[in-house]
Structure formats: structure tokens, C-alpha cells
Amino acid sequence: MSDHLMKTYARLPVAFVRGEGAWLYDEDGTRYLDAISGIAVCSLGHADPVLADALCDQARTLIHTANLGHIRLQERLAERLCTITGMDRAFITNTGAEAIETVLKLARRFGFERGIEQPKILVVEGAFHGRTLGAISASAPGKLQHGFAPLVDGFVRVPYGDADAARAALAGDPSIVAMLLEPIQGEGGVKRPPDGYLTALRRACDEHRALLMVDEIQTGLCRTGRWYAHQHEPDCRPDVLASAKALGNGVPVAACLARGAAAEVLTPGSHGTTYGGNPLACRAALTVLDRMEALDLNARAETMGARLVERLRERLAGCERVVEIRGRGLMIGVELADPAGDVRDHALKQHVLINVTHERVIRLLPPLIIDADQARTIADAVADGVLGR
Ligand SMILES: *Cc1c(COP(=O)(O)O)cnc(C)c1O
């Protein structure tokens, strides 16, 4: 235990020093099955050899120049992400919160250019968008915001999953220039909105000339069985998209993508970053995208997710402690009727690493490369914990 780290985390009593695929090893060499991937980051698993080789090669070639000259790897990454999403332009950042800050600034600038002096952004209840002041202001009130007033102004909040409420808010306030939301809420408890929600929001935003902006930081990059989770629904291509987490498999790299008029509002001098989009980070992201495609991780997330959920349902059928088992692909939540901390501790004793969010929701975000045996081991560790075995 360090006396010199700020006490921002209640940490598990374990220190990992090495990884391989879906396995993590602690200081004593004990092996753990990772069912959280560093919070949806290490989707390729740990120590992926192709990524490791690419990083070594890039480190020996060029790590950083700042955005002073052209960065060919950054151009290639932007093009690749735009092809995957149907967007026009990218701004490459280091973290999810920075990508969200870019999203928020872009929306304000978009409103400003339309003559709206105090543009507002519509957000939803239960949201999590990161830890910067702008991001916590856009997120759900509560412990994220507690003690950090004055927050950033200009957010209007409506219930999640309720397209009519969003439409009414947009219709009632012409200063709302954009709506920001997660296609599935991660930190908010793996909450999945009703089918058709995003398509309805797309239409509502079109009617009111507002931008539809999706935070796909957790849901993106094959996690739910699509490159990005909004792609499950037809006709809901967003105007702005934030991506991070799995993009570098642990190397910090993130992106704000935009299309149409939204892609043109940030101009020279209006926004920037020192590290963002450096050659090392972009090489990592390009390699990750190649690996995801080569390993067909969308298909794998769907099949392994289905197996994991099937096993959970089988083992937990009739269990009164379970409120709901839900999710999409390998983004899975098991909501309990009471706090789930004991389940996490129980799984850790069985050497399976899981996570609890929103107090009562067991969250599973295993590497997308898991096999059927590993999916079963994860489900059994959760079920044993829930059933108190
Ligand atoms: C993790 C996360 C963020 C913040 O990303 P950081 O890299 O931690 O800044 C924002 N939005 C969502 C949905 C996330 O899951």
C-alpha cells in the first residue's frame, strides 16, 4: 500500500505484473482469468504479440513529434476510423475524457456558428462521460460531481431510453444544439435502452437541426458485436462519435469523429493537444483495428457473449437475488437486488477478475478473444458468488 498515491481508488488486494491473452499473473505467479479487460480496454487480451512487435518497431522508429508537421500514421488512423463509421474527420486524443471534451467544444462551436450565443447540450440520466470538469458536468449528478462545483453550465438532462422526452426537450428549447449519450450505459449499470431508441433520436435531432453525438468509448470496437454499438440499429448514423478504451488495447489513444458540418467547425487554433495522435499511439490503434478484423472479433463477441449469458441464465435460473441478466455481445451486466461486492470478492478468491458498477450490477467485459471454456469459467465464478457457494 503506497502512502504517496492519492486515495482515489479502493483497490483490490492484488498486484498484477504480467499478462498473456485473457490471463493475468500476480507477484506470486498466481494466474487470474480477466473478465474486465482493464475496463473494456484490453479487448485483444494482454501482451498481444503482433501489437507488441508493432510497438517495439515504432518505438525504435519515431514516438512523438507533436502536431507541428504532418503525421502520416495519424492520417491513416483517421481514414480508417472514418471508413468504419461513415464519418468525415477525426481529432485524435489520448483519453476518453479528452475525446468527450472535444465533442462538447465542437457542439458549442457548432451552435455558436449558427448564432446561438449560449448553446446547450442535451444529456441523459445515469450517464458517464469521464472525469474532466466538462465530462462530469455532462454525467449523472451524484458522487461524480459531489464537491466539484461550480460545474460547467449548459446541460439539459432527460431520462435515458425515453425518445419522447428527448424530442420534447429539443422542441421546447431552440438553444439545445446537440444530444450526447451512450448507446448502452456502462458505468451507469450496463443499461440497454429499448430497441429503436437511437433511430428515434436520430429523427428528433434531424427535425430540430441538432447534432446526435454518441459516446462509444466503452461500447465501441467490437465489444457488442459491431464496430460501434449504434450500428445495431438502422438509420441512426450519428454526427459525432467518441471512441477510446479498446482503441489502443492499453496504449492511451482516443478519437472524436464527426461528419458533415460538424466535421468543419474546429479550425486552426481552436483546439489542440500535445501528445494526441502521436506516431506510437496511432501505430497502436492501427494495429489493434487490423487485429480486430483479422480475428473477427465482432463474431467472437456475439458467440462468446451468447454462451456466457446462456450459462449465467442456466446457473441462476429462479435465483431471487438476480433482478436481470442483460447486455449485448461481451458487455454483460447481472443486476442483483442487493450490493454485489461479495460476488466480486468471491470471484477473486476463485481467481476470476470481475467488476461491480452502480453497486448492485456485476459487470463483465472480458477480452474479446476468450474461448468457450473461459466464458464458462467466468459465468460459473459469477454464479457461485451470487449463490454464495
Ligand atoms: C471510460 C469512459 C469514459 C472516460 O474515458 P477515460 O479514458 O477514462 O477518460 C467516457 N465515457 C464512457 C462511456 C466511458 O466508459
CB-based burial of residue 268 (10 Å sphere; 0-12 exposed, 13-18 middle, 19+ buried)? exposed
Atom of ligand 1 nearest to the CA of 254: 7
Is 7 part of the annotated catalytic residue set? Answer: no
* Per-residue pLDDT, 301: 98
Ligand 1 center–CA 36 separation, angstroms: 14
Is 80 exceeded by the pLDDT of residue 235?
yes
Is 245 part of the annotated catalytic residue set? Answer: yes
- Homologous superfamily in CATH for domain 16-44+296-387: Aspartate Aminotransferase, domain 1 (3.90.1150.10)
| Ligand 1 binding pocket mutation candidate from 103, 214, 245 (most atoms within 8 A of CB) | 245
Count of CB atoms situated within 10 Å of the CB of 21? 18
Mean pLDDT of 13-33: 98
Count of CB atoms situated within 10 Å of the CB of 372? 12
Residue nearest to atom 15 of ligand 1 (CA): 218
Q: Per CATH, the architecture of 53-294 is what?
A: 3-Layer(aba) Sandwich (3.40)
* Per-residue pLDDT, 302: 98
C-alpha span between 151 and 104 (Å, rounded): 14
* Per-residue pLDDT, 195: 96
Ligand 1 center–CA 379 separation, angstroms: 26
* Per-residue pLDDT, 2: 83
pLDDT classification of 389: cutoffs 50, 70, 90: confident
Please pick, among 128, 155, 191, 239, the residue that the annotation labels catalytic: 128
Instruction: With 0.75 as the threshold, say if the pTM is over it.
Output: yes
Cα dihedral: 185, 330, 287, 254 (round 10): 10
Is 80 exceeded by the pLDDT of residue 40?
yes
Atom of ligand 1 nearest to the CA of 100: 10
pLDDT digits (tens, 9 = 90+) for 49-70: 999 999 999 999 999 999 999 9
Is 80 exceeded by the pLDDT of residue 72?
yes
Under a CB-based contact definition with an 8 Å cutoff, are residues 251 and 277 in contact?
no
Residue nearest to atom 7 of ligand 1 (CA): 96
Count of CB atoms situated within 10 Å of the CB of 99? 32
Short-list 179, 176, 141, 177, CA closest to 163: 179
* Per-residue pLDDT, 96: 98
Under a CB-based contact definition with an 8 Å cutoff, are residues 258 and 110 in contact?
no
Residue nearest to atom 11 of ligand 1 (CA): 129
pLDDT digits (tens, 9 = 90+) for 88-128: 999 999 999 999 999 999 999 999 999 999 999 999 999 99
Q: Are strands 331-336 and 361-364 parallel, antiparallel or unpaired?
A: antiparallel
CA 89 to chain centroid, in Å, comes to 20
C-alpha span between 125 and 139 (Å, rounded): 8
CB-based burial of residue 118 (10 Å sphere; 0-12 exposed, 13-18 middle, 19+ buried)? exposed
Residues with CB under 6 A from ligand 1: 95-97, 100, 128-130, 182, 186-187, 215, 217-218, 244-245
Under a CB-based contact definition with an 8 Å cutoff, are residues 121 and 179 in contact?
yes
Short-list 229, 273, 292, 279, CA closest to 251: 279
Ligand 1 center–CA 96 separation, angstroms: 5
| Ligand 1 binding pocket mutation candidate from 217, 221, 241, 361 (most atoms within 8 A of CB) | 217
HEC assignment per residue over the chain: CCCCCCCCCCCCCCCEEEEEECEEEECCCCEEEECCHHHHCCCCCECCHHHHHHHHHHHHHCCCCCCCCCCHHHHHHHHHHHHHHCCCEEEEECCHHHHHHHHHHHHHHHHHHCCCCCCEEEEECCCCCCCCHHHHHHCCCCCCCCCCCCCCCCEEEECCCCHHHHHHHHHHCCCEEEEEECCCECCCCCECCCCCHHHHHHHHHHHCCCEEEEECCCCCCCCCCCCCHHHHCCCCCCCEEEECHHHHCCCCCEEEEECHHHHHCCCCCCCCCCCCCCHHHHHHHHHHHHHHHHCCHHHHHHHHHHHHHHHHHHHHCCCCCEEEEEEECCEEEEEECCCCHHHHHHHHHCCEECEEECCCEEEECCCCCCCHHHHHHHHHHHHHHHHCC
Residue nearest to atom 10 of ligand 1 (CA): 129
Is 90 exceeded by the pLDDT of residue 1?
no
Residue nearest to atom 5 of ligand 1 (CA): 96
| Ligand 1 binding pocket mutation candidate from 104, 128, 185 (most atoms within 8 A of CB) | 128
Ligand 1 center–CA 139 separation, angstroms: 11
Atom of ligand 1 nearest to the CA of 244: 7
Residue type, 124: V
List the chain domain ranges.
16-44+296-387, 53-294
Is 90 exceeded by the pLDDT of residue 314?
yes
Mean pLDDT of 147-176: 98
pLDDT classification of 322: cutoffs 50, 70, 90: very high
Residue type, 83: T
| First CA to last CA distance, the chain | 30
Is 128 part of the annotated catalytic residue set? Answer: yes
C-alpha span between 139 and 136 (Å, rounded): 5
What's the whole-number average pLDDT of the chain? 97
Short-list 245, 264, 282, CA closest to 78: 282
Atom of ligand 1 nearest to the CA of 182: 13
Atom of ligand 1 nearest to the CA of 127: 13
Under a CB-based contact definition with an 8 Å cutoff, are residues 185 and 149 in contact?
no
Atom of ligand 1 nearest to the CA of 39: 1
Ligand 1 center–CA 185 separation, angstroms: 11
pLDDT digits (tens, 9 = 90+) for 162-194: 999 999 999 999 999 999 999 999 999 999 999
C-alpha span between 246 and 371 (Å, rounded): 19
